[in-house]
Amino acid sequence: MMRSWFLFLWAVLPGGLFLASGCGGGQDVGYVSGKVTLGGQPLGQGSVVFHNPSKGIVVAAPLGPDGSYTVKTHQGAGLPPGEYQVSISPAGVGSGETPLVEKPTPGPGSGGPAIPAKYLQPTSSGLKVTIKPGKNPPFDINLSP
């Protein structure tokens, strides 16, 4: 009886410790924030959209009234480390909570300044950033009209 109990503990205990240690979780993330300006003035509406096609990641960070943003997803703050192409979406497109399914298009009456067309797509914006684990330097974006 004692030997059976010992064998049971020997077989089950390591697996329990493995599960308790958080197998598969705890992915490192990079924290990024910044400010967006258009012609030197804060862009107070819209979103900064981070695209990483190789990882299948698209995350939108809404802009505050002063043009500031902080990247957050439904899993919390930050992005998985890697190379990102960046685009700017007009007001009301993307919230960071769910991935964008379609490419953003400016809607009529968005109320904000017109974002130059080249910044609406990650492939034409020319905006790129490398996100490293932990805190990253501010990624400020200065759009030219």
Contact 100, 53 (CB under 8 A): no
- Is the per-residue pLDDT at 98 higher than 60? no
Distance CA 44, CA 104 (A): 17
Q: Tens digit of pLDDT for each residue in 7-42?
A: 444 444 444 433 333 344 456 899 999 999 999 999
Write down the pLDDT at residue 26. Answer: 55
Task: Tell me phi and psi for residue 66, to 5 degrees.
Answer: -95, 10
More confident call, 92 vs 81: 81
Q: What percent of the chain has pLDDT over 70?
A: 67
Q: Chain-wide mean pLDDT for the chain?
A: 78
Amino acid at 87: S
Distance CA 33, CA 61 (A): 9
In the chain, domain spans: 30-101+113-143
Distance CA 139, CA 125 (A): 15
Distance CA 53, CA 69 (A): 22
Q: What percent of the chain has pLDDT over 90?
A: 59
Q: Which CATH class is domain 30-101+113-143?
A: mainly beta
Write down the pLDDT at residue 55. Answer: 93
Write down the pLDDT at residue 56. Answer: 94
Write down the pLDDT at residue 1. Answer: 52
The first and second tokens of residue 63, run together, are 């802009």
Q: Tens digit of pLDDT for each residue in 108-135?
A: 445 567 899 999 999 999 999 999 999 9
Contact 52, 82 (CB under 8 A): yes
Distance CA 47, CA 36 (A): 9
Contact 142, 34 (CB under 8 A): no
Distance CA 126, CA 119 (A): 8
